[in-house]
């Protein structure tokens, strides 16, 4: 913010000015002539008025921060006021705070050792086992330290009703902070705690990274793109009404790395999993081994894994586990980033089919918002895509800096619409509606089968990495605890590859309305720090070991997997589960789906609800 601005129009600075001058103008000096007294007072008032007029003219012609209309809007024509001023030259510019400093002058590490001895008593206690011993299961609300809008926009249609239980944080699709879904949300009225007569024997955990800044590229919307357009034209636009804050708004978001809240999410997730499953570590003590957790080389992926480890093991975590960091880059086989070796997954005609659906739906649900907000932007014509970006900005700013003014601009119905727009995006790009979804998740399924059966992967014919997966040190078998970190798209790929078909019940998803009671919700399946528990059980009532899949504390029915029963707790015998998944692996053709020369038409002319590529010769 410029110095001239602070000196001329900043309200906080103006509030510090003395009011003595106002008192002086009203004072009357003694006079023996009433006419002379009136003459002096008139001159004082004229001088005062001239001073005010001069200040207005100086602000009008020399400053560019606030809007001053030449005349009010015409009530007869409905036209907007003519504005003589524009936004701050800094509006839309990127604001960066580089910390820590590159060469701090007071940094003397030798005087600040981390280990000075004298630790006092250090005996440990028994491992926590909440999932096995507690009478109920703790729920995660999702958004500590974040502040939602003080009030949502109430300019909704008269037919819509305000819901006092509405939680905006649960309506941001994949940008939502993870939360415990309601019991029964996925169709099984059971909780994550061990069912009666059962005890937990193992856990395979797959989780997403925590909240991050926006990615560099966006196929629709994109906060960085919008802010750059605003900044490049700041000398020609001005905002008023609810958008007035944008006149000196700056873009405060980085790119792709974790936000402070994102770091906390993974730390908390680590603590949560230790409290629930810490007793599984006894198996490692008995076998004199260490757990091996996996992540990828991207900054946010490594930071997520290390923050999880800090929460799970505590400081210092060195010597308590081994962290495998797989390379996420072109040419490296990686089940946690399978798109790097699947060319068709980078062909937008195959892998980015969602955009026409998202655009169609945005034109519908944001129509009223555009009509409401466009008149408040002068000199810049907002589009539907711009308004959609304002909703993205709300979510990204909130998880990055704790609060966003953009959140107040929209109604509850418009936030529900935004949530569904992201459902459309991920359904058609990463889940059951994508022709390259199953093939990208199949490599992780192969690794899961190897761990469940304690046998090596027989054939590496997907995204599996033979160098790492065939090495019992980097890919151990027979352990009771595994933790893998990945991206939300891969979580959805895996859900699709496993054939958890209850989530596909409403597909293909329509782009002209929101299906009532839809099963596929990206805020439930792929929010920031989403977590999928493959829970292993030994039950007195079953001769075979059992497996359950729990996504964000919601138990998932496994009836879409051949042979798995409609169990009230979502259980399936491990041998049955393994046989069914082996069939799926055998039917999934990596070479055809990832390297085959096939095409699918855009839009509803072609669809899938299994995440499979079209069969050869079918289109």
| Alpha-carbon torsion (55, 57, 62, 63), positive or negative | positive
Separation CA 301–CA 210 (nearest Å): 9
Cβ distance 549 to 558 under 8 Å?
yes
Least confident of 47-51, 269-273, 468-472: 47-51
* pLDDT surpassing 50 at residue 12: no
* pLDDT surpassing 50 at residue 22: no
pLDDT of res. 70: 38
Secondary structure (3-state) at 535 = strand
Among 34-38, 131-135, 551-555, the range of highest mean pLDDT: 551-555
Per DSSP, the residues of 277-345 read HGGGGHHHHHHT---EEEEESSHHHHHHHHHHHHHHH-S--BTTBEEEEE--STT---TTSGGGG-GGG
Residue 203's beta-bridge partner residues? 481, 535
* pLDDT surpassing 60 at residue 5: no
Name the pTM for this structure.
0.85
Separation CA 357–CA 514 (nearest Å): 12
pLDDT of res. 451: 98
Mean pLDDT of 500-519: 95
Per DSSP, the residues of 370-425 read HHHHGGGEESS---HHHHHHHHHHHHHHHHHHS--GGGGGS-HHHHHHHHHHHHHH
pLDDT of res. 95: 83
Least confident of 6-20, 81-95, 521-535: 6-20
- Encode pLDDT of 119-146 as tens digits: 999 898 999 999 988 888 899 988 889 9
* pLDDT surpassing 50 at residue 89: yes
Separation CA 298–CA 328 (nearest Å): 7
pLDDT of res. 216: 79
- Cβ contacts of 520 within 8 Å, gap of 6 or more: 423, 427, 431, 432, 503, 504, 506, 507, 509
Cβ distance 311 to 485 under 8 Å?
no
pLDDT of res. 14: 35
* Among 114, 107, 108, CA closest to 315: 114
Confidence class for position 364, pLDDT limits 50, 70, 90: very high
Least confident of 163-167, 258-262, 478-482, 604-608: 163-167
Average pLDDT score, the chain:
88
Q: What domains appear along the chain, each with residue ranges and CATH number?
A: 172-214+260-343+436-595 (3.40.50.1240), 225-256+349-420 (no CATH)
pLDDT of res. 94: 79
- Encode pLDDT of 38-48 as tens digits: 445 566 666 66
Least confident of 231-235, 258-262, 294-298, 339-343: 231-235
Separation CA 95–CA 111 (nearest Å): 34
| Alpha-carbon torsion (310, 313, 316, 322), positive or negative | negative
* pLDDT surpassing 60 at residue 74: no
Mean pLDDT of 94-123: 89
Mean pLDDT of 556-580: 98
| DSSP for residue 202 | E
Mean pLDDT of 580-602: 97
Confidence class for position 50, pLDDT limits 50, 70, 90: low
Least confident of 30-44, 354-368, 421-435, 550-564: 30-44
Confidence class for position 37, pLDDT limits 50, 70, 90: very low
- Encode pLDDT of 286-336 as tens digits: 999 999 999 999 999 999 999 999 999 999 999 999 999 999 999 999 999
| Alpha-carbon torsion (504, 508, 510, 516), positive or negative | negative
Separation CA 441–CA 446 (nearest Å): 9
Mean pLDDT of 268-286: 97
pLDDT of res. 57: 58
Least confident of 36-45, 159-168, 361-370, 499-508: 36-45
Separation CA 257–CA 212 (nearest Å): 5
pLDDT of res. 379: 95
- Encode pLDDT of 449-495 as tens digits: 999 999 999 999 999 999 999 999 999 999 999 999 999 999 999 99
Q: How far is CA 285 from CA 47, 82, 123, 452, 472, in A?
A: 88, 75, 16, 20, 18
Q: Which strand (E) or helix (H) includes residue 486?
A: strand 481-486
Secondary structure (3-state) at 580 = helix
- Encode pLDDT of 386-442 as tens digits: 999 999 999 999 999 999 999 999 999 999 999 999 999 999 999 999 999 999 999
């Amino acid at each position: 913010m410029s110095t001239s601005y602070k000196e001329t129009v900043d309200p906080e600075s103006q509030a510090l000015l003395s009011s003595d001058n106002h008192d002086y103008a009203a004072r009357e000096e003694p006079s023996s002539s009433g006419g002379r007294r009136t003459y002096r007072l008139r001159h004082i008032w004229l001088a005062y008025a001239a001073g005010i007029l001069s200040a207005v003219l100086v602000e009008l012609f020399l400053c560019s921060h606030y809007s001053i209309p030449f005349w009010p809007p015409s009530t007869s024509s409905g036209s907007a006021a003519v504005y003589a001023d524009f936004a701050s030259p800094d509006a839309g510019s990127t604001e960066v705070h580089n910390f820590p400093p590159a060469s701090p002058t007071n940094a003397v590490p030798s005087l600040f050792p981390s280990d000075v001895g004298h630790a006092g008593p250090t005996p440990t206690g028994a491992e926590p086992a909440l999932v096995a011993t507690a009478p109920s299961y703790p729920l995660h609300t999702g958004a500590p330290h974040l502040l939602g809008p003080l009030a949502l926009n109430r300019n909704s249609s008269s037919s819509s009703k305000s819901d006092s239980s509405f939680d905006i944080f649960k309506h941001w699709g994949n940008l939502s902070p993870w939360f415990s879904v309601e019991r029964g949300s996925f169709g099984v009225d059971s909780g994550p705690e061990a069912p009666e007569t059962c005890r937990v024997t193992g856990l395979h955990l797959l989780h997403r990274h925590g909240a991050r800044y926006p990615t560099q590229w966006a196929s629709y919307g994109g906060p960085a793109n919008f802010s750059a357009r605003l900044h490049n034209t700041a000398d020609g636009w001005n905002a008023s009404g609810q958008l007035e804050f944008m006149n000196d708004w700056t873009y405060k978001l980085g790119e792709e790395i974790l936000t402070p809240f994102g770091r906390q999410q993974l730390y908390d997730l680590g603590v949560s999993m230790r409290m629930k499953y810490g007793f599984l570590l006894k198996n490692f003590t008995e076998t004199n081994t260490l757990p091996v957790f996996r992540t990828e080389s991207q900054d946010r992926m490594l930071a997520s894994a290390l923050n999880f480890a800090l929460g799970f093991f505590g400081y210092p975590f060195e010597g308590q586990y081994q962290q495998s960091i797989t390379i996420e880059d072109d040419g490296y086989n990686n089940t946690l980033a399978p798109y790097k070796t699947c060319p068709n997954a980078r062909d937008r005609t195959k892998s980015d089919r969602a955009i026409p659906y998202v655009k169609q739906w945005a034109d519908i649900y944001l129509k009223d918002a555009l009509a409401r907000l466009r008149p408040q932007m002068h000199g810049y014509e907002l589009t539907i895509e711009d308004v959609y970006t304002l909703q993205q900005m709300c979510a990204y700013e909130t998880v990055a800096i704790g609060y966003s003014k953009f959140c107040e601009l929209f109604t509850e119905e418009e936030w529900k619409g935004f949530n569904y727009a992201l459902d459309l995006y991920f359904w058609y790009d990463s889940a059951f509606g994508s022709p390259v979804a199953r093939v990208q998740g199949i490599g992780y399924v192969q690794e899961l089968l190897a761990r469940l059966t304690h046998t090596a992967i027989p054939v590496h014919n997907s995204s599996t990495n033979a160098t790492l997966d065939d090495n019992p040190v980097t890919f151990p078998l027979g352990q009771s605890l595994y933790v893998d970190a990945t991206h939300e798209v891969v979580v959805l790929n895996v859900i699709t590859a496993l054939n958890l078909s209850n989530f596909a019940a409403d597909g293909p998803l329509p782009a002209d309305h929101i299906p009532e009671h839809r099963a596929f919700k990206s805020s439930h399946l792929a929010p920031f720090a989403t977590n999928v528990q493959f829970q292993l059980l030994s039950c007195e009532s079953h001769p075979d070991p059992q497996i359950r899949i729990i996504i964000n504390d919601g138990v998932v029915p496994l009836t879409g997997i051949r042979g798995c029963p409609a169990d009230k707790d979502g259980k399936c015998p491990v041998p049955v589960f393994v046989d069914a998944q082996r069939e799926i692996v055998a039917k999934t053709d990596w070479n055809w789906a990832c390297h085959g020369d096939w095409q699918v038409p855009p839009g509803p002319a072609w669809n899938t609800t299994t995440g499979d590529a079209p069969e050869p010769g079918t289109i």
